[in-house]
Amino acid sequence: MSKKVSIELDGDNLEVQAGITVKKVMELSGYKISKYPDRGFLFTPCETGGCWSCAVEVNGEPKPACSTTVSHGLTVKTRLPEHYIPKRIITGFSGHPVGGVGTPWWMKCKGGYIETACFAAGCNFRCPQCQNWDITYMGSGKAFTPIEAAGLMTTAREKFSVDRMAISGGESTLNRRWLLDYVRKLKELNPDPSARIHVDTNGSILTEDYIDELVEAGMTDVGPDLKGSYLESFVRITGVKDQDLAERYHTTAWNAVRYLIEKYKDRVFTGVGIPYNRKLISVQELGVMGEKLFEIDPKIQVCVLDYRPEFKRLDLVKPRYEEMVEVHRVLKGKGLKTVICQTEHGHIGPE
């Protein structure tokens, strides 16, 4: 028989099963839970404790509801105090020689470090072939405030003598308040006009108002990943099984790219990432993606990532160089001017 413990949730005394998460207790108690940031819902996107988007007050301290388990005598308040400073598990703060999707192509072949990067734990996707799974699903580690993280990134910029400062993941956008505060502080610590603040993202929750806030905060470069043209491919690549949620994520990401180009083309550098591995997505579908991107902006930077065997998809075969040459040819044939393909022999450039 399961052991029961007594806890307090927003002033109500409850008897619950020992060892379940605070999130589960809230669900059982009728609280609204969502993996998309809807008003009035507890946003629990990563469910690993990495992003801290679902933070609540547990015995007077902020803790992620998705990974904090209950014990006898626990007191939980779902409303955080006004003075609460957001936290998130972050790692890295080191030099990066290649950059990410939102890094301009002409910098990728410079040699040496071209930017500094940090990586946010937690992701709302469950990509079976995740390329950064050891950080993505990291549920424990140092949770930094935006001020702490911005200070470490500024120090890293000075150490590696670069102007670009990138955040990736995991998924960097999950904890909205944290990311906005981080970008603002980074801009404050790096006021010189050469400083570039780069956000790489899967774009799944990057709504128009979120983009506006990020640009206002100081974001200068962004790299949304578009995981397919068709919903079926998106589900296969991301591992998001809920069809309605997958469609919402998929639509939001494509809309984000359109909005970035329509409103911020001359203010924010936008580079788009798309995946390729023949077991996950066809060259024909990449062509369809190319046509859609051409309609948005023929000059938009498109970086094709050669998905390799990793994580739970060790059966994959890394695309051959010749495959990536064909992908490059197909996308260029759709009229796109700036196509980069990641290969085992380095990048194929737009020329």
- Among 77, 105, 131, the domain-final residue is 77
Question: Using CA atoms, how far apart are residues 294 and 119, in angstroms rounded to an integer?
Answer: 30
Percent share of the chain, pLDDT over 70: 99
The average pLDDT across 35-61 equals: 95
Same domain for 34 and 101? no
Residue 140: which pLDDT band, with cuts at 50, 70 and 90?
confident
Asked whether the predicted pLDDT for residue 31 surpasses 70, the reply is yes
Q: Identify the pLDDT of residue 227.
A: 98
Look at residue 171 and tell me if it is in a domain: yes
Residue 292 has φ and ψ, to the nearest 5°, of -65, -40
Query: Is pLDDT at 108 greater than 60 in this prediction?
Result: yes
Among candidate residues 48, 77, 106, the one where a domain is terminated: 77
- Check whether residue 67 and residue 97 sit in a common domain: no
User: What value does the mean pLDDT of the chain take?
Assistant: 96
Of the pLDDT bands very low, low, confident and very high (cuts 50, 70, 90), residue 40 is: confident
Three state DSSP letters for the chain? CCCEEEEEECCEEEEEECCCEHHHHHHHCCCCEECCCCCCCEECCCCCCCCCCCEEEECCEEEECCCCECCCCCEEECCCCCCCCCCEEEEEEEEECCCCCCCCHHHCCCCCCCEEEEEECCCCCCCCCCCCHHHHCCCCCCEECHHHHHHHHHHHHHHHCCCEEEEEECCCCCCHHHHHHHHHHHHHHCCCCCCEEEEEECCCCCCHHHHHHHHHHCCCEEEEECCCCCHHHHHHHHCCCCHHHHHHHHHHHHHHHHHHHHHHCCCCEEEEEEEECCCCCCHHHHHHHHHHHHHHCCCCEEEEEECCCECCECCCCCCCHHHHHHHHHHHHHCCCCEEEEEECCEEECCC
Same domain? 257 vs 292: yes
334: in domain? yes
pLDDT band at 110 (very low <50, low <70, confident <90, very high): confident
Mean pLDDT of 82-110: 92
Residue 32 has pLDDT above 80, yes or no: yes
- Report yes or no on 85 lying in a domain: no
pLDDT tier for residue 79 given thresholds of 50, 70 and 90: very high
Query: Is 86 within a domain?
Result: no
Mean pLDDT over 231-253 rounds to 98
The per-residue pLDDT for 222 is 98
Are 42 and 164 in a shared domain?
A: no
Joined together, the tokens standing for residue 111 give 């040699």
- Note whether 131 and 189 are same-domain residues: yes
Residue positions counted in the chain: 351
- Asked if 276 and 230 count as a contact pair (C-beta separation under 8 A), the reply is no
Cβ contact 152:118 at 8 Å: yes
Report the Cα 70 to chain-centroid distance in Å.
Answer: 29
Total domain count, the chain? 2
Percentage with pLDDT > 90 across the chain:
93
Confidence of residue 138 (pLDDT cuts 50, 70, 90): confident
Mean pLDDT of 334-350: 93
- Is the pLDDT at 80 greater than 90, yes or no? yes
Show which of 25, 42, 77 is a domain's final residue: 77
CATH value at residue 298? 3.20.20.70
Q: What range defines the domain where residue 125 resides?
A: 92-348
Identify whether residues 48 and 97 lie together within a single domain: no
Residue 82 lies inside a defined structural domain of this protein: no
Query: Is 249 within the bounds of a domain?
Result: yes
CATH number, domain containing residue 19: 3.10.20.30
pLDDT of residue 109: 72
Over 90: is that where the pLDDT of 17 sits? Answer: yes
Mark 4-24 as b/e (b = at least 16 C-beta within 10 Å): ebebebeeeebebeeeebbbb
What pLDDT is attached to residue 49? 96
Q: Is the pLDDT of residue 279 over 90?
A: yes
**Is pLDDT of 1 > 70?**
no
